[in-house]
Amino acid sequence: MITIKDLKKAFLNALWFIFLTFPIMVMKVNTINDTLIWRWMNMLYIGVAAFVFTLLGKIYTVRKANRSEIVKPSLIQIVNSKMENKKVRYSSLAAVVAIVILYPFLMSMYQTSIMTTALMYVVLGLGLNIVVGFGGLLHLGYAAFYAVGAYTYGLLFYHFGLNFWLCLPIGAVFSALFGIILGFPILRLRGDYLAIVTLAFGEIVRLVLENWNEFSFGPSGIANIARPMIFGQKLKLAQVTNFTYFIAVGLTILTIIVIRRMESSKMGRAWEAMREDEIACQAMGIDITKAKLTAFSMGAVWAGIMGVLFAAKTTFINPASFTTWESIVILCVVVIGGMGSIPGVIAGALIFILTPEYLRAFSQYRMLIFGIALVVMMIFRPGGIIPKIRRSYQFAADKEETQEVEA
C-alpha cells in the first residue's frame, strides 16, 4: 500500500515542516532579558509528526477510494434505528433523566457548577445554530447578545433591584431587539461580508461597554449581582449552586423543545430554504427580510436568556467575558457538533466545555486543538460530529417504499 514514492513524499513533507516551524518551535527568545533557548527536540517531534501524518493521509485516501461502493451504516444510524424501538427509547430517556436529576447530589459543588456552564453552552450553541445552522448566516458577534442579556440583568438589578426571574424575559426581549437592530443593516450582505460585519458589531458592543463608564461601569464591570432566589428566599451557596444547575437544566429542555418546534414549522423551513438558495427562496414566496430578521432575533433570544443566567451565576460581569473569542467558542460548538443538527450541537457543547475541564493537561491546548478541529471537520466531515438527519414522512400509498430513512 505504501510505496517508496510515498515514503519520499512523507520525508520531504517532514523536512518542509521542520523548516517551517524552525524559528517558532525551536528557538525561543526573550527580548526582555536577552536570552535565547534552543529546543532541538521539537524539531524531531515536528519531523516525525509530519512524516506520520503524511502516511496516514495517504492510507486514508487509498482506503476511501477502495471502499467507495459498500456503505456501512454509521454509528449514528445504528443508534438512531435502535431508538425507533419504543422500549429502548424510553429506557434510555429514563436513564438520562435519572443522571440529570441525581448529578448535583452525587457530584461536588465544583462539578455541578461546571455542568451548569456546559448546559449554558448547549443553549448558546442551539441559539447560534438557528442563525448559522438553519439560516446559513455566519455570525461572529453572538457574544454581543450574550452581553446584552447579562448587562440587562446587571443594570436592572443595580439600579432598580429587579430580581432574576423578572429579568429573564426582559433580557430575552432586549436581546431579540438587538438582533433586529443588527439584522437591518446586514440584510443585503452576502456570507463573507456578513461574517465580518457581525464581528465588527460584536467588537463595537464590547468597546462601548468598556468605555462608557457612566452606563456600564467600564472594565471594572458590575459586582454583587444577586443569585437566583426561590420565593424571595436567599439560599446557601451549595443550595444555590444546585438550584442554578436545575434552572440551567430547565432552560436547556425548554430551548430544545422550542427550537425543535421552530425547526419543523413554516419559519424553520423558510430559514433552511434561505440557506440553500436565497433567490429560489424568494421566488417561492418567502419574504427574505422577514426570514433573516426572525433568524437573528430568535437566535439572539437564547443568548439574552443565558446572559441573565450567567450574570446570576457568577454574580459579576465585565466586558472581558464577551469578547470575539467567546463568539468563536460558541461557533466552534455549533460547527464541530454539527450545523443544523440539534443533537450535534448538544454533543458539541458538552465535549467542548467538559473535556478541557476534566483533562487539565489538555486545557491549555484547547483552542489550538479546536482550531485544527474546525479545519479537519470542514475537510473530512462537514456535517459535524452528529450530522443532521432529515425528517422522513410516510404516506399510506407507498409505505413499503418510504420505510428507509435517508440520512
Residues 262-281 that bind other proteins (CB under 8 A): 262, 264-267, 269-270, 272-273, 276-277, 279-281
In the bound complex, what is the minimum distance in angstroms from residue 371's beta carbon to other proteins?
Answer: 3
DSSP 340-369: T-HHHHHHHHHHHHHHHHH-HHHHTTHHHH
| C-alpha dihedral sign at 313, 316, 322, 323 | negative
**Closer CB to other proteins, 162 or 269, in the complex:** 269
Are 337 and 349 a contacting pair, CB within 8 Å? yes
- Asked if 31 is part of the footprint of other proteins (rule: CB under 8 A), the reply reads yes
Contacts of 40 (CB under 8 A, 6+ apart): 26
Strands (E), 238-280: none
Map grid coordinates 431587539 to a residue: 177
Tell which positions 322-341 bind other proteins, by CB under 8 A.
324, 328, 331, 335
User: Which of 15, 27, 96, 230: binder of other proteins (CB under 8 A)?
Assistant: 27
Binding segment for other proteins (CB under 8 A), chosen from 76-84, 98-106, 256-264, 350-358, is 256-264
In the bound complex, what is the minimum distance in angstroms from residue 13's beta carbon to other proteins?
Answer: 10
User: Which of 204, 230, 238, 320: binder of other proteins (CB under 8 A)?
Assistant: 204
Are 349 and 356 a contacting pair, CB within 8 Å? no
DSSP 110-149: HHHHHHHHHHHHHHHHHHHHIIIIIT----S-HHHHHHHH
- Asked if 361 is part of the footprint of other proteins (rule: CB under 8 A), the reply reads no
Are 299 and 131 a contacting pair, CB within 8 Å? yes
- Asked if 32 is part of the footprint of other proteins (rule: CB under 8 A), the reply reads yes
Judge residue 85's burial from the number of C-beta atoms within 10 Å of its C-beta, 0-12 exposed, 13-18 middle, 19 or more buried: exposed
- Asked if 371 is part of the footprint of other proteins (rule: CB under 8 A), the reply reads yes
SS3 233: strand
* Buried-exposed string 158-191: b where 16+ CB fall within 10 A, e elsewhere: eeeebebeebbebbbebbbebbeebbeebeeeee
In the bound complex, what is the minimum distance in angstroms from residue 160's beta carbon to other proteins?
Answer: 28
User: Which of 69, 84, 214, 398: binder of other proteins (CB under 8 A)?
Assistant: 398
In the bound complex, what is the minimum distance in angstroms from residue 161's beta carbon to other proteins?
Answer: 30
In the bound complex, what is the minimum distance in angstroms from residue 169's beta carbon to other proteins?
Answer: 14
Tell which positions 295-324 bind other proteins, by CB under 8 A.
298, 324
Tell which positions 92-121 bind other proteins, by CB under 8 A.
none
Q: Measured between alpha carbons, how far is 68 from 52 in angstroms, rounded to an integer?
A: 24
Chain mean position to CA 283: 32
Are 402 and 393 a contacting pair, CB within 8 Å? yes
- Asked if 201 is part of the footprint of other proteins (rule: CB under 8 A), the reply reads yes
User: Which of 282, 314, 315, 355: binder of other proteins (CB under 8 A)?
Assistant: 282
User: Which of 1, 4, 24, 106: binder of other proteins (CB under 8 A)?
Assistant: 24
In the bound complex, what is the minimum distance in angstroms from residue 290's beta carbon to other proteins?
Answer: 9
- Asked if 10 is part of the footprint of other proteins (rule: CB under 8 A), the reply reads no
In the bound complex, what is the minimum distance in angstroms from residue 311's beta carbon to other proteins?
Answer: 24
- Asked if 176 is part of the footprint of other proteins (rule: CB under 8 A), the reply reads no
Binding segment for other proteins (CB under 8 A), chosen from 123-131, 234-242, 310-318, 373-381, is 373-381
User: Which of 2, 8, 12, 28: binder of other proteins (CB under 8 A)?
Assistant: 28
- Asked if 223 is part of the footprint of other proteins (rule: CB under 8 A), the reply reads no
Binding segment for other proteins (CB under 8 A), chosen from 77-85, 185-193, 243-251, 302-310, is 185-193
Q: Measured between alpha carbons, how far is 274 from 289 in angstroms, rounded to an integer?
A: 10
User: Which of 29, 93, 97, 223: binder of other proteins (CB under 8 A)?
Assistant: 29
